[in-house]
Amino acid sequence: MAALFKVVCLVALLAAAAEGAGGSACGKLSPDKVAVQLAPCAAAGRDPKAAVSSSCCLQVKRIGRNPKCLCAVLLSATAKASGVKPAVAITIPKRCRLANRPVGFKCGPYTLP
């Protein structure tokens, strides 16, 4: 019984540590999991002249309520794997004409417009 209690405590501790280290920028979800929600933005994240769809803007507005999360998502491995260019992706909030976009927010080596 004591061994089972120790295993349960160890699993709980590891889960808490993983949560703190993993998706902290986006709460309980990792930026890679949130990035999947920006699938409608894929073309706009690769080409600065591509039209930004209303569904993309809706998702960017929702995720952008937390600028740290939006930054982490735009620079995530999932975004990069889909061909998204960070310098182009960070222009999407402006291209969506979001009034409350993070102005001057540092995002890695890039600054959100």
Q: Which of 89, 73, 67 is nearest to 36 (CA)?
A: 73
Q: What is the pLDDT of residues 39-60, one digit of tens each?
A: 999 999 999 999 999 999 999 9
Q: Tokens for 72?
A: 């982490």
Of the CA atoms within 13 Å of residue 85, those in its CB half-sphere come to 10
CA distance 32 to 39: 12
* Domains assigned to the chain: 29-111 (1.10.110.10)
CA distance 101 to 3: 51
DSSP notation for 47-98: -TTSPPPHHHHHHHHHHTTSHHHHHHHHTSHHHHHTT--HHHHTTHHHHTT-
Task: Assign 9 a pLDDT band (cuts: 50, 70, 90).
Answer: very low
Q: Tokens for 31?
A: 């930026």
Q: What is the pLDDT of residues 53-102, one digit of tens each?
A: 999 999 999 998 888 898 899 889 999 999 999 889 988 988 999 877 76
Residue 112's pLDDT is what? Answer: 63
* pTM: predicted TM-score of the whole model, two decimal places: 0.71
